[in-house]
Structure 1
């Protein structure tokens, strides 16, 4: 498994570094670096939005929640997609119409106060620096399960590689790499679920269902019905929906798209990608509960499947997909926090006379 994984990983790294170098030679101005020259179309844009939201939490935490809570955890997904629709019709058009480069730019213009934008920039930097910790932790856990290496070592590798391609090409390289990463995630999950279903049912979907039903009789009633109360599920759905409708690392991506119409189309493309991913993750969580009912932690479900259930090539592809999910989110957060520091704080308050080349570098 390790040899196959390293081959797949090597090809993946070579491709993303090629994209980063190509983007570097097409990035000359601050608009190029922070908004890809406002050239991103709906397909790539939708993949970017999906990849940015699909993080380590999806492959590790969400699959674990479905392992623990069954189908009832679908409600946060429904809340998430509702948030996307709110964003498509009410939030995104206003943000894109202004033609800003960052969310603090919009806040400064909306309230006529550069200080309000600066405060928003500081809050975003602090909040997303904390959020990065969860991504690094997930990457460390995956590396520990797969290779037995120290989590800290894995975290440093993820930070270094992601920071490199982020710094080289900015949003342009990030967008096309996120497009690639979304395709990898979707392909890996589409291939993995039938293989897992075959393992559960011994080749027959009917047998898989029968085995699953027999297993359900041995479980706590909450695992086959509502693990959480309806009030708790509604709260989760609202929280996920509101968070995606106002997430700076998603909203910033709108500025790189061609126009308002492109943004709306991209959001619906993102929902399409996420429906496939959500259905697959839900299936993985519940089927792994049948195959491995006593995992030490529900968060190990996906990594255990990749190592012990899937064929080596498919397992390697899934592990690279998990790595892609982590890197795409880390990359977006690095862009958000870096832009806040360089554009919203340094470029406006510390060195307002700085040249475009100076800000990009």
Structure 2
């Protein structure tokens, strides 16, 4: 490999390692490992939301969707943008005021149901493993392209690095490395654009060439059906709302004001960055109209067109993006299992020190558990993430937002929503696999409608306890 590429990669990775060591020194106890001692400033919350939302999926999987499907893919970005708005202005402040450690903590208290927390923790951990698997795919593709290693070896190395970074400092390392990652991955995207544009004939000829090859490319739905495009908006909107990896950021915020400031900041930068990804994909499409693996389109044009040192910085930026998302999902799953399964069900008298050790062992376990999915690579990156967020949205997103704004929602309704959402989403996908239901009809919208109806009906047939009302009033106040 060119020495200038290695230099660019080394500079970025040394910076990240230094941040990780610093975070390890700052992370002293369970509270700092779980929620950074509730000291996250607005710019750290912004960096964590942004870096985890962009991640390696935007450079690989999302670029592939833009390349093949056109503007319809932007409905995913619109869904994510709306999710940030809802998270930072309607959910995050309430969670910060409530002041727990994990999302299952909140659900168990809100619905006066000790068993609800562990069950949600198990469900969330399952699709966290799927999300981690998709991130290992991204890392495997990157390392095999960079170093000529086998894909499986690359995936295992990425897994090891993710586990080490997460164990080093927990939420402290996640917030600090995510902030650095936001800067580096944005730079990695932006600095490669001029070389791509220079290699083409300009905006007019590029858009004409793409439109000639795919007439629907720039329409509202692109190459998708309108129903599928609209469904993607809801998958990613509610998937983010139900993802503990995002929600626990708000427990770590130093104040409600910091959450609101992070929301205003991310509103200004997320969609513009998404449009840069989209523009890069169709410019690259005119240079590489028949690329064998569209998930490598960004890697391909960066290696071919940019100077070696810029390539090194860009590749390191991509790895940092992958790392920032992976340690977020891994930490969320491990802390939830540690607190809501081990502490609350198996060993209620465990000391904080021992719980911290157990949580770090769970980081190791969940990180390793995702490796077979990454090596197997059962689907394209975005297909794996769509499935994970479908389950997250149908089992968590709707239940969480309704729990905060529907005063009369009861324990039985929460259970009914989680069960009905899980059954409909999973059974719908299985019947699509065998051809009973058309693959063009996504289950997200029907699942949300049915789950919402189930929650309302059961809530009207049952009554919330005084404790449920007290928790609700605490969040409102």
Q: TM-score range by the shorter chain?
A: over 0.9
- Compute the displacement of 1:41 (Å): 0.8
> Secondary structure in 2 aligned to 1:54?
helix
Q: Which residue of 1 aligns with 2:261?
A: 265
Q: State whether structure 2 residue 343 is matched by structure 1 residue 358.
A: no
CA distance in 2, matches of 1:115, 1:75: 36
| Worse-superposed segment, 43-52 or 311-320 | 311-320
The superposition leaves residues 51-80 of structure 1 with CA deviations (integer Å, 9 ceiling, x where unpaired) of 112222211111111111233322221121
CA distance in 1, matches of 2:336, 2:311: 38
In the aligned structure 2, how far is the partner of 1:248 from the partner of 1:181?
20
Residues 164-313 of structure 1 aligned to structure 2 (within 5 Å): 164-201=164-201, 208-216=202-210, 218-225=212-219, 226-313=222-309
Give the superposed CA RMSD: 1.7
CA offset digits 1:113-132 (Å, max 9, x no partner)? 22111111111112211221
* Structure 2 partner of 1:41: 41
CA contact (8 A) 1:53 1:250 kept: no
Q: Take 1:45 and 1:319, find their aligned partners in 2: how far apart are those partners? A: 24
Superposition TM-score, scaled by structure 2 size? 0.71
Distance apart, 1:271 and its partner CA: 3.3
Q: Tell me how far apart the structure 2 counterparts of residues 158 and 100 of structure 1 sit (CA, whole Å).
A: 31
In structure 1, the residue matched to 2:158 is: 158
* Alpha-carbon contact 1:143-1:154 (below 8 Å) kept: yes
Structure 1 segments, 4+ long, off by >6 Å, are none
- The higher relative CO (CA closer than 8 Å, separation ≥ 6) is in 1
Matches within 5 A, 1:50-129: 50-129=50-129
Partner secondary structure for residue 200 of structure 1: coil
CA distance in 1, matches of 2:248, 2:96: 9
Structure 2 runs not aligned, ≥5 long? 358-477
2:432 aligned residue? none
TM-superposed CA distance for 1:217, in Å, is 5.5
Contact 1:47–1:179 (CA under 8 A) maintained in structure 2: yes
Give the 3-state SS of the residue equivalent to 1:25 in structure 2.
helix
The 8 Å contact of residues 193 and 283 in structure 1, kept in 2 or not, is answered as no
Aligned residues: 355
Contact 2:5 2:309 in 1 (8 A): yes
Confirm or deny: 8 A CA contact 1:121 1:340 kept in the other structure: yes
Q: Report the equivalent of 1:204.
A: none
Change (3 A) 1:188 1:75: same
* Residues 103 and 2 of structure 1, relative CA distance in 2, 3 Å threshold: farther
1:240-275 superposed Cα distances (whole Å, 9 cap, x missing partner): 111122211110111110122211221232333322
Q: Which moved more, 1:65-74 or 1:321-330?
A: 65-74
Aligned to 1:319: 315
Tell me, in whole angstroms, the C-alpha distance in 2 between the residues paired with 1:223 and 1:275.
Answer: 19
In 2, Cα distance between the equivalents of 1:93 and 1:236?
Answer: 26
Separation in structure 2 between the aligned mates of residue 55 and residue 34 of structure 1, nearest angstrom: 22
| Partner-residue secondary structure (3-state), 1:55 | helix
Greater Cα shift, 337-346 or 327-336: 337-346
* C-alpha contact 1:139 1:326 (8 A) present in aligned 2: yes
Q: 2: CA distance between counterparts of 1:122 and 1:91?
A: 22
In 2, the alpha carbon distance for the partners of 1:23 and 1:82 equals 31
Q: Note the residue ranges of structure 1 that are not aligned, 5 or more in a row.
A: 202-207
Change (3 A) 1:112 1:2: farther
Secondary structure in structure 1 of the residue aligned to 2:199: helix
Measure how far apart 1:214 and its partner are: 4.5
